[in-house]
Amino acid sequence: QVQLVESGGGLVQAGGSLTLSCAASGRTFSSYAMGWFRQAPGKEREFVAVIGWSGSFTRYADSVKGRFTISRDNAKRTVYLQMNSLKPEDAAVYYCAASSKLWGGEESDFEHWGQGTQVTVSS
């Protein structure tokens, strides 16, 4: 299995930037598609971005496309989410997750989840 730990959350002003990291443990990290999800208080968890096994395939939610960038470093067993032009609507707990499907699939296909890191955006 793979275990995931997010870091890099914090408080940032609207329009600012923040980069999240997700460190993975396990011997098969490169075999997983990695995704980022977020959940704001009182709201359901939503998809943010996903990156395929090789790192060449990426997909983003419309709400973050053009502002967020997902990347991975398989040698470091780490996936990143660079967030630019942050908006108050981006405030949430951000989770990274791993899927054995090549392209990630649906939320239910993500088998392993981290504990989340808080991102707060002030207006």
pLDDT digits (tens, 9 = 90+) for 62-98: 999 999 999 999 889 999 999 999 999 999 999 999 9
Q: Residue 26 above 90 pLDDT?
A: no
pLDDT at 110: 95
6, pLDDT greater than 90:
yes
Residue (of 8, 5, 13, 7) closest to 120 by Cα position: 13
**C-alpha–C-alpha distance, residues 93 and 91, integer Å:** 7
Question: Is residue 22 within 8 Å of 34, Cβ to Cβ?
Answer: yes
Residue type, 118: Q
- Distance of alpha carbon 112 from alpha carbon 3, whole angstroms: 7
Q: How far is CA 16 from CA 11, 76, 82, in A?
A: 10, 26, 11
Mean pLDDT of 49-57: 89
The confidence score (pLDDT) of residue 52 equals 92
- The Cα–Cα gap between 72 and 44 comes to 26
Structure tokens at 104: 């990630």
Q: Return the higher-pLDDT residue of 53 and 66.
A: 66
pLDDT at 72: 93
Position 38 pLDDT exceeds 90: yes
pLDDT above 90 for 61: yes
